[in-house]
Chain A
Amino acid sequence: MADKLELDAQTGIAVERDFTPEELEQRKQDLAKQAEIAAAIAAQNKLKEETIAKLGLTIEELKALLS
């Protein structure tokens, strides 16, 4: 299984290949970034749920109060 498909629209030539060292480094950076973003979102959601729990309300009740 190759890492990447590269297509030239003018010639129609498509090549499946592995990442170059530079692309692999970029891939590592991208995955680290996405993991960091996912962790931040999870932490935010957890804080939201904990806050709602402390208030003793359901999400629907809180929405009704805020509307």
Chain B
Amino acid sequence: MGLNAQTAVPTFTASQVLTAAQQNQINTGIPVFATTTTRDAAFGGSNKTLAQGQYCYIEASSQLQVYTGSAWQSVGTGLTYITQATPTAVASVSINNCFTSTFANYLLLIDMTAAVGDGVITARLRSGGTDSNTNYVGQRLIGQATTVAATANPSGTDDAYFSTIQATTASSYALSSNIYSPALARGTVFNTFAGSNDGAGSVIQFVWNNHTTASAYDGITVFTSGTSFTGTIRVYGYQNS
């Protein structure tokens, strides 16, 4: 039985003098720390000894974590919310520091509410606030009504193609992209699915992109070649185990 294992959930009466043992017993709540650094400094020494079953909450990453006895692991259902951007009538959105080595793979969701100008939605990985604009390859499969078409590198090789978008039907646009290993020193793969009610009918697009540069990136920029877009971009991390 570890130090955090309880044998009772006690109640106390008014004016009762609590012993140190009793205080320690109830000192198993979920402490909140700013970062993993302040978390690590808070245990040991004159503080509580870190032991299996200890939970904590990290403000910087919005993560609930548990100590297994040898390491801290995130607690959740497999998907951890990272952040969201809510652009209003802008031509591009950069999200910095959303990719870390904590997660190998990420989910990006784009939910449009409006757009000005028809265009193409593309993305670039970024590091230290600078976009990477080389070494993208891709393949698109697009279906509209009874027509299916395939295109290689539909936006060239300087960005990752996501989809087309039409201003008049932007509110029906939704995109999800599974992004593999953006923060690892290897190539990054985007598997993207987008759909919308286009001018000529409903359209769906499946796109695979590979950024072949073997570098770690900490962010992403999403662009429209139209005038602007409005909506929400959310980033989640898939837990590794």
Contact = CB atoms under 8 A, between A and B. Distances in A.
Query: Which interface class (under 10, 10 to 19, 20 to 34, 35 or more) fits B?
Result: 20 to 34
A3 B155 contact: no
Interface residues of A, number: 23
A48 B98 CA distance: 44
Contacts, number: 71
A19 B95 CA distance: 15
B91 A4 contact: yes
Given A1-B89, A2-B90, A27-B91, A9 B97 contact: yes
B125 to A, nearest CB: 14
Contact of B96 (A4, A8, A23): A8
Contacts of B235: 9
Interface stretch (B80-88, B174-182, B189-197, B202-210): B80-88
Given A4-B90, A6-B96, A7-B96, A37 B156 contact: yes
Contacts of B88: 5, 16
B131 A7 contact: no
A16 B93 CA distance: 9
Contacts of B87: 5
A34 interface: yes
Contacts of A5: 85-88, 90, 92-94
B119 A3 contact: no
Contacts of A7: 83, 85, 93-96
B29 to A, nearest CB: 25
A9 B81 CA distance: 11
Interface in B114-164: 119-120, 122, 131, 133, 154-156, 158-159
Given A33-B158, A34-B119, A4 B95 contact: no
A37 B91 contact: no
A7 B131 CA distance: 14
A31 B90 CA distance: 15
A30 interface: yes
A37 B92 contact: no
A31 B223 CA distance: 11
Q: Which 3 A-B pairs have CB atoms at the shortest separation, nearest pair first?
A: A9-B83, A9-B98, A34-B225
9 contacts: A5-B85, A7-B93, A8-B97, A9-B83, A9-B96, A19-B91, A26-B133, A34-B225, A37-B154
Interface of B: 60-61, 82-83, 85-98, 119-120, 122, 131, 133, 154-156, 158-159, 219, 223, 225, 228, 235
